[in-house]
Amino acid sequence: MPSVDRLRIQLFADGAELEVIRRMAANPLIKGFTTNPTLMRKAGVSDYVAFAREVLRIVPDRPISFEVFSDDFAEMELQALEIAAWGPNVFVKIPITNTRRESSAPLVSRLSAAGVQLNVTAILTDAQVADMAAVLSPRTACFISVFAGRIADTGRDPIPVVARSLAILRDLPLAKVIWASPRELLNVFQADAIGCHVITATTDVLNKLSQVGKDLTGFSLETVEMFRKDALAAGYTIPVSASARSGL
């Protein structure tokens, strides 16, 4: 029987809605936060810096990742240094490449050597993890975000990829693997089973934690009741014909 109490993996909340972040910050199960420009735009954030400052006021004591958005590595570096200065719990998200498929490894090497805490994001392959392992400083904390959900969306099993990522990074004790973009709550337990350090999930996944270990027979009845309730609320009817009645 699965149990939240036995989980070793750290749960991070992924999102950009301030009220949700406040609620998640009050939950002792949530050990960190991540966001990205796509989630921020979806949440209606118009001022990147003001949003980040408010998030850091809400979450002063747990890791929080903010992403650069330049496509030019020189400007990306300047953005990274600015973001890193916002607080000691800040991790700077750097994409594994820019849009021209140029590797961010040289930039990651410089920033990591300078002591900037990073979250290298949008990783989907072993080779990308290995590229980062080759340049990360062993003295600087870093997250490696393997987008397991996107790997699964291609019909591939993400579990071996994440497991190999853990092996590649085993000599870097301050580098932690994030199982990113989970699609269902089961992914939390899959990631935990292989020793993944962190899983970051949106609210729709994290809200299902209350269902862990739920009695399946009772859950089945709740499902039947839901279908019945919604059919009645919608006012659906199925006129029964005489021929159908005669077939009884």
pLDDT at residue 248, as a whole number:
63
Q: What is the CATH number of the domain that holds 171?
A: 3.20.20.70
Please give the structure tokens belonging to residue 32: 């960190």
Give the integer Cα–Cα distance in Å for 33 and 4.
Answer: 19
pLDDT at residue 190, as a whole number:
98
Average pLDDT over residues 89-111: 98
pLDDT, tens digit (0-9, with 9 covering 90-100), for 169-190: 999 999 999 999 999 999 999 9
State residue 115 phi and psi, 5-degree precision: 90, 15
Is residue 225 one of the residues assigned to a domain?
no
Average pLDDT, the chain: 96
- Tally of helices (H runs) and strands (E runs) in the chain: 12, 8
- Looking at the predicted structure, is the pLDDT value of residue 63 above 90? yes
Average pLDDT over residues 149-164: 98
pLDDT, tens digit (0-9, with 9 covering 90-100), for 3-57: 898 999 999 999 999 999 999 999 999 999 999 999 999 999 999 999 999 999 9
Please give the structure tokens belonging to residue 172: 């870097």
Burial class (CB in 10 A: 0-12, 13-18, 19+), 98: middle
Q: Rounded to a whole number, what is the largest CA-CA distance in the chain? A: 82
Confidence of residue 235 (pLDDT cuts 50, 70, 90): very high
pLDDT, tens digit (0-9, with 9 covering 90-100), for 125-135: 999 999 999 99
Range of the domain at 57: 4-219
Active-site residue set = 93
Average pLDDT over residues 131-157: 98
Is residue 143 one of the residues assigned to a domain?
yes
Element containing residue 159 per DSSP (H, E) = helix 158-168
Total domains, the chain = 1
Is residue 243 one of the residues assigned to a domain?
no
Long-range contacts of 53-59 (CB under 8 A, 24+ apart): 53/86, 54/18, 55/18, 55/21, 56/86, 56/87, 56/89, 56/90, 58/18, 58/21, 58/22, 58/25, 59/21, 59/25, 59/33, 59/89
Is residue 246 one of the residues assigned to a domain?
no
Confidence of residue 1 (pLDDT cuts 50, 70, 90): confident
Is residue 37 one of the residues assigned to a domain?
yes
Is residue 237 one of the residues assigned to a domain?
no
- Residue 12 · residue 199 · CB < 8 Å: yes
Is residue 193 one of the residues assigned to a domain?
yes
Residue 61 CA, chain-centre distance (Å), reads 19
Is residue 247 one of the residues assigned to a domain?
no
Average pLDDT over residues 105-126: 98
